Structure 1
Amino acid sequence: MTSEQHPHPETLSDSDSAILAAARAGVPAALADLGGLVRIPSIAWPAFDQSQLQRSAEAVAALAEGTGVFDSVRITTAAIPGTDEHGQPAVLATRAARNGKPTILLYAHHDVQPPGDEALWDTPPFEPTVRDGRLYGRGAADDKAGIMAHIAAIRALVEAAGEDFDLGIAMFIEGEEEYGSRSFAQFLQDNADALRADVIVVADSGNWDSRTPALTVSLRGNARFTLTVRTLEHASHSGMFGGAVPDAMLATIKLLATLWDENGAVAVEGLTVRDAETPDYSEETLRDEAGLLPGVSPIGDGTILSRIWNKPSVTVTGIDFTSVANASNTISPEVTVVVSSRVAPGQRAQDAYAALEAHLRAHAPFGAELTFSDIDCGDGFLVDTSGYAVDIARGAMHDGYGEAPVDFGVGGSIPFIADLVRDFPEAQILVTGVEDPHARAHSPNESLHLETFGNAIATEALLLNRLNERSA
């Protein structure tokens, strides 16, 4: 994509110029409101105070009401299929289209990851702090900034065009994305009429860097499961039986090691690779963005971005075993680990899980017993870039950031997009975001680059304005 394919800022229409000015002027208010959202520890994990999710939903609903454009704003939940439970509170705001104009659905989520070890944060995770051009705090980037990009863009449209515009807008702010979107599919079914749209914007991705916007066109899927490895009926004395009896940790180490080859590339038969070109991306950039230690080498083969965007990965993300403080001279009977695999776009996540399970069963050492549980699969996504909305979005990104956008693959997963594709097959889906490579989403010291945030607001405001000027 070259800059000549999109109009330069000096050639903008009068309405676009007014929108841009309103968007830039609205950034301080958006940041203040974002700080208010970050202060709410809205974590969907049951171990945390669930009342904070209701508090967060109420704060988002108040922001939606404050725009003055919606016919309806409500906080609602949906059932979790197969259980007697309901999901976390979501905000659903709707405004009907008029005079043949399209409808756009704006998605983000107000729940956040747990803070983790707060000692690793330079400032308290739920006390928004600005330093060196970034706003620090849990959810500052993922994904409360996405919420505020939507709200601020709507405010800019109202400021420039008035409240009586014709574009239809639905806004769906989920409350459990970080906890698996367990009620998402049911929510879509329960609210299908309210959510139906010509264009869907999922504001939960990232950008090429802090200055260069990106439109996400591919996402890996995920296959996550818990594996328990058992070798003994009970623990035994390591001096009495060590050397003859395989402990569960030995079996687990040998078993897990079969998942990768000597270069660290995934070595599981049945996991596929997507064949697609990737932009230039150096090892130096990888080291800077990922925090790779000087003496540690990257893993895998092929271009670096092909490893992240188009190939599978396998990561052990958790383990239950005797702690160092409680270590004793004991042969362990059982070890439990959590295995998280990212699945190449184009492969069904369930097929990838089946390949992983078959591999592990085939390679279990010493006849160790394996138990699989808590299986969670989500399919990847490939964007259809042929629709008019993609061209409008690319142009809005160019004019909002002042840089030509990059078509971007993401190594992470947003499994619920497959649900959107299934339930709204005619909708054009745009995956955007406010994060840059140094946002550290899900990690200590998560942060939002302030200039990127302002440009993201400007981009979405332009997108809304250009859709408002288009017939459905």
Structure 2
Amino acid sequence: MTDDLRARVQDVLPGVRRDLEDLVRIQSVSADPERLSEVQRSAEAVRDLFAAEGFEADILAAGGAPAVVASKRSKHADAPTVLLYAHHDVQPENDHAEWDSPPFEPTERDGRLYGRGAADDKAGIVAHLGAARVFGDDLPVHLNVFVEGEEEVGSESLVPFLDAYKDRLRADVIVIADSGNWDIGVPALTTSLRGLVRVNVEVRTLTHAVHSGMWGGLVPDALITLSRLIASLHDDRGNVAVAGLHSGPAADVDYPEARLRAESGATAGVEWIGDGSAVERLWTKPSLSIIGLDAPKVDGSSNTLVPSARARISLRLAPGDTTANALDCLRAHLDQHTPWGAEVSMTVVDTGEATQIDATGPAYDAARAAFTEAWDGTAPIDMGVGGSIPFIAEFLEAFPSASVLVTGVEDPDTRAHGANEGLHLAEFERVVLAEALLLQKLGS
């Protein structure tokens, strides 16, 4: 069966790649209001691709960006139903000078296809398309497809969308193609993702700026105050010092030092922070970063005490924690550690729940077998992800009886969201084969 499907995948792959390249050329940047027409054009292209394969395909929305919902029935009436998810919107490409080739012109170099969305997540779309194309009109399962158009801007309308179109999306198994594999040649199933809380914290010590010579030494300035508050968020070893946050164990996966250095971009002398194994610190413990500051610039700064300063905090939550708990803990920490009686306020920017998936049962058995065959005997690892994909928790809530499999096309050098995003083409072929094998096994 594997050899037969492998041959069919090789037959459809050239066309699948052409479809991917056509999609990459569409600048579907959902965060850019001036390119909303491109997001619409992208949805239309995706709809047409699935319609050409015999799917009933529509462009739908629930107050947000256009999404594609497509369905195709198996000839086997009692076959299970599988929902395939991906998203067609992409991140902004930012400075074109940082790219080695134009971001919206797909370009192959050294076995990778480069371009914005070449991996995240237009490759996810065509992986689903390729797996369906392998079977033609003899699908082993009933297929529903959901290609979202606003994942890169937070999926704000996802919950109402799932409510509105639940009957069209309902499935026994959900395959979410928006994650990655552990390494080139080593597949993975993502079984946990950290949650996210972003807040703005403002500290005020004065009603207005005053002369630093006249009042310095008596009145604290807001920048010094904020700096001390920020410093309180970690202990001396770099662990997050906010009491009450959840931590948990991680899978026994080795993350070699050389690979950590290369993939993280850490400078040669920098020391790792925190306690525990590398994957615990990256997957199953909280992390906290300051990702922005509002304060006077150095150039042109006046010799006055700064009355207020603001920081944006990005807090990643361990699986098993909740955003409600994290906000309560963070607020309590700020109130307790703001020095010198300064005023402190916290404003929530956005949140996303952590996810812990029960990776057991027949669907996961089928997935592990399919991945092992597609990767020539290399079994997938159960991988955590330090980043957040909040919509997965929303799928779990909307379809509690479904088995949710989180897969993807990315690898450690994909550079999703950055310049020179690229898809490893040999791995992509394995991804398509693995999904075809999975559908075959679920059908039998």
What band does the TM-score fall into relative to the shorter chain? over 0.9
CA-to-partner distance for each residue in 1:36-55, whole Å, 9 max, x for gaps? 22222222225542222111
Residue 335 of structure 1 and its aligned partner are, at CA, apart by 2.4
**Would the aligned equivalents of 1:235 and 1:331 in 2 still touch at CA under 8 Å?**
yes
Q: 1:420 aligns with which of 395, 398, 404?
A: 395
What is the aligned partner in structure 2 of residue 7 from structure 1? Answer: none
What is the aligned partner in structure 2 of residue 142 from structure 1? Answer: 120
**Would the aligned equivalents of 1:157 and 1:464 in 2 still touch at CA under 8 Å?**
no
1:262 aligns with 2:236: yes
**Would the aligned equivalents of 2:132 and 2:139 in 1 still touch at CA under 8 Å?**
no
Q: Secondary structure at the match of 1:49?
A: helix
Flag the 1:361–1:443 CA change in 2: closer, same or farther, 3 A.
farther
Measure, in 1, the Cα distance between the counterparts of 2:275 and 2:155: 33
What is the aligned partner in structure 2 of residue 43 from structure 1? Answer: 29
Flag the 1:127–1:319 CA change in 2: closer, same or farther, 3 A.
farther
What is the aligned partner in structure 1 of residue 439 from structure 2? Answer: 464
Residue 216 of structure 1 and its aligned partner are, at CA, apart by 0.9
What is the aligned partner in structure 2 of residue 25 from structure 1? Answer: 11
**Would the aligned equivalents of 1:104 and 1:168 in 2 still touch at CA under 8 Å?**
yes
1:247 aligns with 2:221: yes
Measure, in 2, the Cα distance between the counterparts of 1:444 and 1:237: 44
Residue 249 of structure 1 and its aligned partner are, at CA, apart by 2.0
Q: 2:174 aligns with which of 167, 188, 200?
A: 200
Residue 432 of structure 1 and its aligned partner are, at CA, apart by 0.3
Residue 376 of structure 1 and its aligned partner are, at CA, apart by 2.1
1:94 aligns with 2:71: yes
1:114 aligns with 2:66: no
Measure, in 2, the Cα distance between the counterparts of 1:50 and 1:322: 35
**Would the aligned equivalents of 2:73 and 2:139 in 1 still touch at CA under 8 Å?**
no
**Would the aligned equivalents of 1:38 and 1:140 in 2 still touch at CA under 8 Å?**
yes
Measure, in 2, the Cα distance between the counterparts of 1:286 and 1:268: 26
Flag the 1:96–1:270 CA change in 2: closer, same or farther, 3 A.
same
Q: Secondary structure at the match of 1:50?
A: helix
What is the aligned partner in structure 2 of residue 313 from structure 1? Answer: 287
Measure, in 2, the Cα distance between the counterparts of 1:333 and 1:118: 38
Q: Which moved more, 1:214-223 or 1:189-198?
A: 214-223
Measure, in 2, the Cα distance between the counterparts of 1:367 and 1:119: 47
Q: 1:57 aligns with which of 5, 18, 43?
A: 43
What is the aligned partner in structure 1 of residue 142 from structure 2? Answer: 168
What is the aligned partner in structure 2 of residue 81 from structure 1? Answer: none
Residue 57 of structure 1 and its aligned partner are, at CA, apart by 0.9
Letter in 2 for 1:344: A
Flag the 1:465–1:55 CA change in 2: closer, same or farther, 3 A.
same
> How do 1:4-403 and structure 2 match up within 5 A?
13=1, 16-45=2-31, 47-68=33-54, 70=55, 72-78=56-62, 86-97=63-74, 98-158=76-136, 163-165=137-139, 167-402=141-376, 403=378
Q: Secondary structure at the match of 2:344?
A: strand
Unaligned segments of structure 1, at least 5 residues: 1-12, 79-85
Flag the 1:140–1:239 CA change in 2: closer, same or farther, 3 A.
farther
Residue 91 of structure 1 and its aligned partner are, at CA, apart by 0.7
CA-to-partner distance for each residue in 1:98-148, whole Å, 9 max, x for gaps? 420001000011111222333333333222222122222222221111111
Flag the 1:216–1:466 CA change in 2: closer, same or farther, 3 A.
same
Give the number of aligned pairs. 442
**Would the aligned equivalents of 1:209 and 1:437 in 2 still touch at CA under 8 Å?**
yes
Residue 205 of structure 1 and its aligned partner are, at CA, apart by 0.7
Q: Secondary structure at the match of 1:146?
A: helix
Residue 300 of structure 1 and its aligned partner are, at CA, apart by 1.2
Measure, in 1, the Cα distance between the counterparts of 2:71 and 2:346: 42
TM-score scaled by length of structure 1 = 0.89
Measure, in 2, the Cα distance between the counterparts of 1:357 and 1:200: 36
Letter in 2 for 1:90: A
Q: Secondary structure at the match of 1:20?
A: helix
Measure, in 2, the Cα distance between the counterparts of 1:33 and 1:206: 21
Flag the 1:89–1:264 CA change in 2: closer, same or farther, 3 A.
same
**Would the aligned equivalents of 1:215 and 1:431 in 2 still touch at CA under 8 Å?**
yes
Residue 184 of structure 1 and its aligned partner are, at CA, apart by 0.6
Residue 426 of structure 1 and its aligned partner are, at CA, apart by 0.8
Flag the 1:94–1:294 CA change in 2: closer, same or farther, 3 A.
same
Q: Secondary structure at the match of 1:440?
A: coil
Letter in 2 for 1:439: T
Measure, in 2, the Cα distance between the counterparts of 1:249 and 1:138: 38
Residue 221 of structure 1 and its aligned partner are, at CA, apart by 1.4
Measure, in 2, the Cα distance between the counterparts of 1:431 and 1:394: 12
TM-score scaled by length of structure 2 = 0.94
Measure, in 2, the Cα distance between the counterparts of 1:171 and 1:252: 48
Residue 240 of structure 1 and its aligned partner are, at CA, apart by 4.3
Letter in 2 for 1:29: G
**Would the aligned equivalents of 1:441 and 1:447 in 2 still touch at CA under 8 Å?**
yes
Measure, in 1, the Cα distance between the counterparts of 2:421 and 2:211: 45
Q: Secondary structure at the match of 1:142?
A: coil
Letter in 2 for 1:404: A
Measure, in 1, the Cα distance between the counterparts of 2:310 and 2:105: 35
**Would the aligned equivalents of 2:261 and 2:267 in 1 still touch at CA under 8 Å?**
yes
Q: Secondary structure at the match of 1:429?
A: strand
Letter in 2 for 1:94: S
CA-to-partner distance for each residue in 1:345-364, whole Å, 9 max, x for gaps? 11112211211121112111
What is the aligned partner in structure 1 of residue 412 from structure 2? Answer: 437
Letter in 1 for 2:59: I
Flag the 1:444–1:320 CA change in 2: closer, same or farther, 3 A.
farther
What is the aligned partner in structure 2 of residue 454 from structure 1? Answer: 429
Identity value in percent: 50
